[in-house]
A = this chain, B = another copy of it.
């Protein structure tokens, strides 16, 4: 079911500082900040040869990243994203195994313009997992 590790997201309290660190200290290829108001985040993509890091900063008062940073003011690893070949089949299988899908329980369009689902961390050993249609 799961394919490639699409990205790891890190919530950061200072996006400019985090972006500069990945660029100048770690020598990675980083994107310009991209505002995604419908997801409540501004994101910087750190492009690695085999995967991506997404640096997330809250955008708007209802941002789930704002709530995460309220609890973790220094920032922290927020979630992992796995690609799946058929997100509806994956969703059906997970629900049949008793997994909880966050929000409406149906796929929505994610930061890359593809369908995504978020799985409950309590069903995944404390890790917030996003599934993205490949």
Q: Is A110 located at the chain interface by the 8 A CB criterion?
A: no
Q: How many copies does the complex hold?
A: 2
Closest to A131 in B: B26
Q: Which residue of B lies closest to A28 (CB)?
A: B2
Interface residues of A in 30-65 (CB under 8 A from B): 48-51, 53, 55
Mark each residue of chain A from 69 to 108: 1 if its CB lies under 8 Å from any CB of chain B, else 0: 0001011110110100000000001100101000000000
Q: Give the nearest-CB partner of A49 in chain B.
A: B4
A4–B50 CB distance below 8 A:
yes
* A126 contacts across to B, CB distance below 8 A: 10-12, 72, 74-77
**A5: chain B residues within 8 A (beta carbon):** 5, 8, 48, 50-51, 53
Name A residues whose Cβ lies closer than 8 Å to a Cβ of B: 1-5, 8, 10-14, 18, 21, 25-28, 48-51, 53, 55, 72, 74-77, 79-80, 82, 93-94, 97, 99, 121-122, 124-127
Question: In the complex, what's the smallest C-beta–C-beta distance from A57 to chain B, in angstroms?
Answer: 10
Instruction: Please measure, in the bound complex, the distance between the C-alpha atom of A26 and the C-alpha atom of B125, giving whole angstroms.
Output: 14
Are B125 and A25 neighbours in the complex by a CB distance under 8 Å?
no
Residue from the list B1, B12, B121 in contact with A26, Cβ < 8 A: B1
Give bound CA distance, A15 to B30, whole Å.
35
